[in-house]
Amino acid sequence: MRCKKWRIHFVFTKFITLQKITIAVDGYSSCGKSTLAKALAQKLHYNYIDTGAMYRAVTLFATRHNLVGLHKPVEVDLLILKLDQVNLRFEINPHTHHSDIFLNDENVEPYIRSMEVSNIVSRVSAIKEVREKMVALQRQMGKGKGVVLDGRDIGTHVFPKAELKLFMTADTDVRARRRHDEYSSKGQYFSLEEIKLNLLKRDQEDINRKESPLIKADDAVVLDNSELTREEQLEFVLKLIADLHFLSKEEQSHH
């Protein structure tokens, strides 16, 4: 255990002296992308951008304006017209030290992870104009490097030149169980089956949409975390970062 801690520390100490990079974390729903991305950002003193939260906030805006519902298709033209009324920003919460998303100056973090938003978000995030607006914002926020972004299209579309790309996956039952525990800890109870169906449906919608579908970038490293602890995942990625840096460009192309 002690040895493991030292190893992480060693890799990290070597890394912080180096130039800042962009880290793209893509993958299926509820694979622990944000947990890993947050831990990485904290360890490296990088900014963390939860791009899923941005699509969720637009979805919340659309539901509040009655432009979409669980059984109501998205009023695409109206939503596009109203998109310039959607102002998003992240702000560090002084109590939790997490980065919360603000929609038009309201902290909407408590509302965007509801089952209703989760069931609708893939339809809203499939709209080209919504994506264009979010991608422009993400590029703006990440332009200084030293940033970890998690999402579905970061390595393929938002930052195709990111120095490190991860593609995360995990067994569906493991994912459903994790999401179930997360909801339960907030006092929200849904059956495992309902959660699993939502995950699978969202994956299908994300994979099959026309605009920037969820797909592994050719140069992304696959990380299946079904049987890995948070610490093991973090250690794996820190090692990757160190390896990447300490190889010359020539060596990297043969790696």
Give the residues lining the site for ligand DC (CB under 6 A): 29, 51-52, 55-56, 121-122, 125, 151-154, 202, 206
Q: How far is the CB of 183 from ligand DC (least distance, A)?
A: 13
Query: Strand 99-103 and strand 164-169: pairing?
Result: unpaired
Cβ-based nearer residue to ligand DC, 56 or 133: 56
Strand partners for 102: 89, 107
Taking CB atoms within 8 Å and a gap of at least 24, the contacts of 188-193 are: 188/115, 190/115
Residue 70: Cβ within 10 Å count: 9
Contact by Cβ (8 Å): 166, 39: no
Handedness of CA 252, 246, 42, 185 (dihedral sign): positive
Q: How far is the CB of 125 from ligand DC (least distance, A)?
A: 4
Cβ-based nearer residue to ligand DC, 27 or 44: 27
Distance CA(118)–CA(196), nearest Å, equals 12
Cβ-based nearer residue to ligand DC, 184 or 204: 204
CA 199 to chain centre: 15
Cβ-based nearer residue to ligand DC, 29 or 225: 29
Cβ-based nearer residue to ligand DC, 11 or 120: 120
Q: How far is the CB of 151 from ligand DC (least distance, A)?
A: 2
Q: How far is the CB of 58 from ligand DC (least distance, A)?
A: 9
Q: How far is the CB of 164 from ligand DC (least distance, A)?
A: 16
Distance CA(36)–CA(234), nearest Å, equals 7
